[in-house]
Structure 1
Amino acid sequence: MVIGIIGASISGLIAGKRLAEAGHDVTIIEKSRSLGGRLKTVKLDDLNLDVGLTHFDVNTNTFGSFVKKQEEEGAVQKWAKEFNYYDGTKLLDVGPNSDSHQYYTGTNGLQSLAESMSRWVDIKSEEKAGGLTYIGPDRSKKRSWMINLTDISVFECDAVIIATSAVDAYGLLQTVQNKTESRRIIRHIDEVRYDGCFSLAATYNKQELPDWKGIECENSAIKWISNESSKLNADQAALVIQSTPAFYREHAHKSDDEIKELIFEEASDIVGSWVHHSKSTYLQNWKYFKAKNPINEYFMELELDDAPLALIGDYLGGFSLENAFVSGYNLSEYWKKKYTEVTV
């Protein structure tokens, strides 16, 4: 089959990679220049800093096998088993409810994981899907679906996988005309809600490197602080500071400079006043950072044998990087078995 995947998230990338390995012709359409969704890495002063997800853990064999291979290839490294904890008044070595657990990160930024998976598929980056047209079994054209791009071109395919946020998936499904089968899916994903987040990366000159790897924060406008220099074995201090959803909602209308100053002010209570004296900064606005009420299914499918369509992503089965990976992986396994005419 010719498969069009909308969204180069880790869900879309792992599904695309595995379906391409099974013999399908896979193209991923991504509206951004970069791949990986929340696996976003930016370069500041020659340091690769993670401004989306900064680390992850492993709880399933499926994801564990993938991570082990990435670790053997040098793309992933063990990072920490516990993090420091800020309770709103003081910084503690560990939180009161902390349990030792292995956390991983990239050796040179987590986005490299996404880029490594993209080698198996064709990528149309900076191309936005504006809608879907169902051609159906009585079509005169060769393919069952047309993905309508906002530059007025189209991509024809036999099957569609939507690997975007629930909000974007909802918008795409609304364009599928006269398909009552899509209404069940639309009702479910319309109920998904997201927390937003500001993620501020900053580098520092002549600043002593912090002796902690990460700080989990409570009773603060800051949710998490990552010591990025500890991942890179760098001799230059670098942080990623992430806000709470409440801070995001309160300040989303403000300018980038105002938001940066507010985040630094809050972070100074936790790590010290030196945090204000940054060399370079980058602010990432994550409108759909984390699903608050994910759907308890790993993927959802529009069950049309002549025109397969499925949804995958980090709002299905949970909200972690692992959930997103397993969502795409499970759909690929299901479709590999379902569409057996493909030569492996």
Structure 2
Amino acid sequence: MNNNSAPMSSVRRIAIVGSGLAGLTAGLRLQRLGHDVTLFEKSRGPGGRLAAKRVPGGSADVGAQYFTARNPGFLPFLREYGGKHCFAEWHGRFGFRDEHGQWGSFPDEPRYVGTPRMTAITRALSEHLRVTPETRIEHFARVEEGWQVFDTEGSDLGTYDQIIITAPPAQARDLLKQSQLHHLAAKLDDPVQKVLPCWAVAAHFAESPWTQHEGMRLEHPVLYWVGNNSSKPKREDAGQWWVLHANPEWTQAHVDTPAEQVAELMLAAFQDIAGFTDTADDTVTHRWLYARSRDGEQPGHLWFSVEGIGLAGDWLAGGRVEGAFDSASGLVTAMTKGS
């Protein structure tokens, strides 16, 4: 979606809020065009939904479980900027279980993962960019030279010609409101209502609790996804780490439930599905308040040339990991049109 597209030939400095795949893609594409780009990341390192949690002996992917590559430019982009060793195909057996407990086939297409963890991709991409970590942007203010950016500590982070926001819609809307851009913030009211939460649990088992599949998509009152993280390439775990994702409805009903109780309930559901009796000997939980978007308008990106503000993210382009790449690429095309 291109809102009032205009040439960007005069842009010299661009601030990007967020260093997930969308922010990194936009940054790399803009930097290649000769622009001066700075990314601001609220966490200690890049990643976004390509997130992993440290666990004894390694890590477990608690965010996106894999990604596909339907855009022919996606894998070449990753290889160019991340190197051919930062991801690999996951040759797992995948199944779908319907609401009646019947098993069926899963779409047959290549699935890729970061190696040795999902964050390997974003960390490799970020090495080519200026990323300022542990910096949460509070607001930006219009000045004659462009936009003056401030963090939550009140520090002036510099003046930029244009700004790209890659945060989830609720956080993006808050940032626009705090920047007195209420007319832009209002455009995110509907997307905010469509973002779904997700509880994630990584659980360790000494012996395999399930041998029929490495990944399972479920229609279940509690679980949406179960996967054997240890079966992914270049994982060298003792025993097996499995990752469980709850479905959005169950997560919403338990969004404030203590993490330990959430893990117990989700593991009980997994036991019921798989029919095993052994208990996990270790668990790690993570609550995603902004996991994915349900059906709604998918404009690809938002570009407001009058204000010099752009928004990109997977929530604007279908929700898949690859959607973040598509969204950011489309935004950069809109920003640079005619330059």
Specify the code of the residue in structure 2 equivalent to 1:313: G
Match of 1:49 in 2: 60
Match of 2:203 in 1: 202
Matched residue SS, 2:325: helix
Q: Which deviates the most, 98-107 or 119-128? A: 98-107
Q: CA deviation at 1:195?
A: 0.9
Matched residue SS, 1:169: helix
Matched residue SS, 2:43: coil
Specify the code of the residue in structure 1 equivalent to 2:198: C
Specify the code of the residue in structure 2 equivalent to 1:331: L
> Which of 259, 264, 269 is the equivalent residue of 1:261?
264
1:14-163 matches, within 5 Å, as 14-67=25-78, 73-80=84-91, 83-88=94-99, 90=101, 92=103, 94-95=104-105, 98-135=106-143, 139=144, 143-155=145-157, 156-163=159-166
Q: CA deviation at 1:208?
A: 6.9
Q: Aligned in 2, Cα 1:23/1:281: closer, same or farther, shift over 3 Å?
A: same
Matched residue SS, 2:19: coil
State how far apart, in whole Å, the 1-side matches of 2:292 and 2:201 are: 17
Q: Aligned pair 1:282/2:284, yes or no?
A: yes
Q: Which deviates the most, 197-206 or 59-68? A: 59-68
Q: Aligned in 2, Cα 1:207/1:298: closer, same or farther, shift over 3 Å?
A: closer
Specify the code of the residue in structure 1 equivalent to 2:26: A
- Asked if structure 2 preserves the Cα contact closer than 8 Å seen for 1:81 and 1:102, the reply is no
Identity fraction in percent: 24
State how far apart, in whole Å, the 2-side matches of 1:76 and 1:38 are: 15
Matched residue SS, 2:190: coil
Q: CA deviation at 1:40?
A: 0.2
State how far apart, in whole Å, the 1-side matches of 2:212 and 2:87 are: 22
- Asked if structure 1 preserves the Cα contact closer than 8 Å seen for 2:51 and 2:62, the reply is yes
Match of 2:322 in 1: 322
Specify the code of the residue in structure 2 equivalent to 1:7: G
Per-residue Cα deviation, 1:26-45 (whole angstroms, up to 9, x for no partner): 11111112312110012212
Q: Which deviates the most, 307-316 or 46-55? A: 307-316
1:220-299 matches, within 5 Å, as 220-231=221-232, 232=235, 234-274=237-277, 276-278=279-281, 280-299=282-301
Q: CA deviation at 1:67?
A: 4.9
Specify the code of the residue in structure 1 equivalent to 2:323: N
Backbone CA RMSD of aligned residues: 2.3
Matched residue SS, 2:288: strand
State how far apart, in whole Å, the 2-side matches of 1:250 and 1:275 are: 27
Q: Which deviates the most, 232-241 or 109-118? A: 232-241
State how far apart, in whole Å, the 2-side matches of 1:20 and 1:274 are: 53
Q: Unaligned 5+ residue runs, structure 2?
A: 1-11
State how far apart, in whole Å, the 2-side matches of 1:284 and 1:159 are: 33
Q: Aligned in 2, Cα 1:252/1:233: closer, same or farther, shift over 3 Å?
A: same
Per-residue Cα deviation, 1:10-54 (whole angstroms, up to 9, x for no partner): 101110112122222211111112312110012212222110001
What TM-score comes out, normalization by structure 2 length? 0.87
Per-residue Cα deviation, 1:186-221 (whole angstroms, up to 9, x for no partner): 333110121110010122235577452101111331
Specify the code of the residue in structure 2 equivalent to 1:282: V
Q: Unaligned 5+ residue runs, structure 1?
A: none
Q: CA deviation at 1:126?
A: 1.3
Q: Aligned in 2, Cα 1:102/1:207: closer, same or farther, shift over 3 Å?
A: closer
- Asked if structure 2 preserves the Cα contact closer than 8 Å seen for 1:8 and 1:36, the reply is yes
Q: CA deviation at 1:107?
A: 2.2
Match of 1:213 in 2: 214
Per-residue Cα deviation, 1:69-118 (whole angstroms, up to 9, x for no partner): 589712211114751233356473x43xx432221112211111111111
Specify the code of the residue in structure 2 equivalent to 1:116: A
Q: Which deviates the most, 294-303 or 22-31? A: 294-303
> Which of 158, 164, 169 is the equivalent residue of 1:166?
169
- Asked if structure 1 preserves the Cα contact closer than 8 Å seen for 2:21 and 2:122, the reply is yes
Matched residue SS, 1:289: strand
Q: Aligned in 2, Cα 1:146/1:275: closer, same or farther, shift over 3 Å?
A: farther
What TM-score comes out, normalization by structure 1 length? 0.86
Per-residue Cα deviation, 1:137-165 (whole angstroms, up to 9, x for no partner): xx2xxx31012210110222111111111
Task: Report the count of equivalent residues.
Answer: 323
Matched residue SS, 2:315: coil
Matched residue SS, 2:116: coil
